[in-house]
Each structure stands twice: as C-alpha cells, then as structure tokens.
Amino acid sequence: MPALVVVGAQWGDEGKGKIVDLLTERVSAVVRYQGGHNAGHTVVIGDASFILHLIPSGILREGVGCVIGNGVVVDPAALVAEMDALEARGIRFGDQFHISDRAHLILPYHRAVEREAEKTKGTRKIGTTGRGIGPAYADKVARVGIRVGTLLDPPLFRRVLATNVESMNYFLSRLYASPPEDLFDTDVIYAEYMGFAERLAPYIRDTSLVVNGALDRGERVLFEGAQGTHLDIDFGTYPFVTSSSACAGGASTGGGVGPGRIDRVLGIVKAYTTRVGSGPFPTELNDADGERLRAEGDEYGATTGRPRRCGWFDAVAARYAVRINGIDGIALTKLDVLDGFDRLPVCTAYRLGGRVVTEFPSNPQELEDVEPVYEELPGWQGSVKGIHRLDDLPKEARAYVDRIVGLLGVSLDVVSFGVRRDQTVLLADPFVPRDP
C-alpha cells in the first residue's frame, strides 16, 4: 500500500490541516516531518475547531498513529501545553503517539537569539514568529544542538546544556549587549526540561523503526508537511523562508524513510494566494479585493493571528511547486471564498524587464520586480458551499477550477468549499497512483 506526502504548494496556509484530517480515516499513521510550533493547522469537526501546532492532525482520529519525525524541532513546553489542551477536550495520547529521539529541542536561548537577531535585520526582516525555530535548526546544522532523546539521559543533557548555555550567554552579551538579568541559568533550564522529560518519556523512540515497520506491513502512511513550498529553505523565496525542508523531499529526510518508499505527492492549493511575513508576493492585492479575500477567507495566522497578505491565484508559482515536489494531484481549497466576485484574474506569466517569463525566478530581486500577467475569468453568483458533486458547481466556477488544473498539468483529487469535513468533494483516492 502506498505512502502519500501532503505538501503545501504556495506560501503555507493552504488548508493542509483539513485535507490531512479528511484523509486520516484512510491511513494507519500520520508523520509530521519538518517545522516546529511556528506552523498551525486548523481542523473543524462539526462545531468544534482544533488548532494543531506540533501534533499531527491524525490525533483527531482514534486508532491512527501519530509521529513527530526527526526533521521537526520541538519546544517541549509548547508540546506539553498542546497535549494538555487536547486531553482536556477528550483526545487521548496512548501507545500510538511517538516522538522521534532524533528530533532537536528548542531551548529558551533559541527564542532570545531569534528576537535579538530580528531587531538588527532592517529591510531583511523575515517576519518570524519568534519561537526559536531558526536558531534551533542553526544549532542542528552547527552540530551543537540537543536532541529529544538526550532528555532520557539526564547527566548527558545537563553536560551538553551547560556548555551551550555558557556559549549562548557569551554570544548574547557580546553581540547583542544583553544585560545579565536576560542571560540564562543552566540549573533553571535543566529543572524545567527534566519535568518535560518525565511527561514525554513514554513517547520518545526511534520513529524510523515505527514508520518503516508500518510500511513493511503494507499499511498506509501519510507524511504531513508544515508551511509551503515557497517557504522551503532551498526552493522557497530565500531569504524570506522557513528553516527546514518544507518540500516533499523533506518527508524522506525528516520522516526517516528512503525516497523510494514515497508513492505519491498531493499538493494543497488555495483557490487564491496568501502569504504571511516579509518577502516577494507577485499577485498581492493592496486594495478592496485584497481586503475582501482576507475577510471572506478569515485570513489570519492560526499561530500568531497576523493578517495574511492576499492576492489572486498565481499559476506560475504553483506550477513551480508542482515541479519541485513532483506533485501528482492537487486538493483545491477555499473555493467558496471567491463566491460573488465579478471577475477572477489568474496569473499565467510574469513580465520582467520587457520580456514575458513563465518560470518562477530563483533570483529574489527579480521576483520583487516582476509584474503579473493576468488572464481574466468570469466570477459566479451564489455560494458553492452546499454542493456535493463537481457537476453541481456553477459553470463559471467549474471553468475556473478546470483552468487552474489545466495550467498546473496535474489531476484534481479533492475540492474543498469550506472549513468542515463535509464541505469537501473527494474525486479520487489520493493514495492510489493513476495512469498519466
């Protein structure tokens, strides 16, 4: 049975949480393979809304295994708080919840470094969430990070922590002139994190064994990414990106499986485009249409509450995501937000320095300078929220969907018309490879 990667094909916030939740009734396990608690997935079940930051969306389905993979950076305080909040709502954490012993820890000094660094960047501010994600990944790459499994060896944890605290205090005081009261105490952090260790110890293990074992048994496994393609550290709009591999390739390195075990990639595509934080955004709207998209789509960050920048659908950016991820099919979300618009421009190319380009530029300055080339499609009246078949769409809405699918050159697997599970049309099983 195949393994499926679910990946955002824009700048994040495409509705991955809902689609993953929808598909979890078909899987044995969900693996979160990168990012930290800077990302948020919103899942609506009936009248209840759940916002998940670190824990895979599969936790909302009884009997589905949930894995926080080695590619994730874990703030244990945030994880324990999220677990407590879910348990208070009746969600159980049993022997099917797993945390990779190879995932890296976010420590209090990571948050301090990120806050101070962001103050000095001027026009290169990333617009981070300030949760210490980037510095934790930086320590991982610099080979001075502390892994989750180290919590199970208190003497080793204390020894490594003491070295890091000494280095970080020197760094903060010398580079950022942090006063003594803002520096860190090894004993305080150690005591706090040993409390987290006691709570999390039953779930910490070699999750690569868990995931590969499920695949060996022929079970379906879904790999869940955070953020989106254009925030990927390698293929996003660098430097205005996240610090991890948000593309489909990250499922292999961050989930602990070989690339040959991945059978299919489902890209989540919003019917328009949004972005949070700084960086280029070719189709951004700073007008009444942009405000309307934000209001109708409730475009505010699930983690920070920050208003999202909104714009028309960018087929150039989405087509790039299809190529980079090897996307086989898409789930088109939030089509209902476009209800009532008289016209719907779709960006099919960019104008750059007197020439028309159809490929997504890798040069960030060029991406800042491009002008979108639009193809205008008619909008539709009424609401699409109540439909149960694609054929029930207004002809203009169906034409809009068909045009997006045609521009991307992939199959259409799912269409979503609202936030609830039942506001979805599943056109094909995303797990099943199909003939081209």
List, by residue number, the catalytic residues.
Answer: 13, 41
Calpha distance 208→33 (Å, rounded): 11
* Distances from the Cα of 53 to the Cα of 129, 202, 369, 405, angstroms: 13, 20, 34, 30
Q: Are 290 and 33 in contact (CB under 8 A)?
A: no
Q: Quick one: DSSP state of residue 146?
A: -
What residues have CB less than 8 Å from 408, skipping those under 6 apart? 269, 315, 318, 319, 322, 327, 330
Distance CA(140)–CA(156), nearest Å, equals 17
Integer distance in angstroms from the first to the last C-alpha of the chain? 19
Buried-exposed string 276-302: b where 16+ CB fall within 10 A, e elsewhere: bbbbbbbbbbeeebbebbbebbebebb
For CA atoms 361, 346, 397, 50, give the dihedral sign: positive
Cα 121 from Cα 114, distance rounded (Å): 11
Distances (CA, A) of 377 to 296, 374, 401, 404, 418: 20, 9, 11, 11, 22
Ramachandran category for residue 13: left, alpha or beta (phi over 0 → left; psi -120 to 50 → alpha): left
What is the 8-class DSSP label of residue 374? E
Nearest to 340 by CA among 375, 377, 383, 376: 383
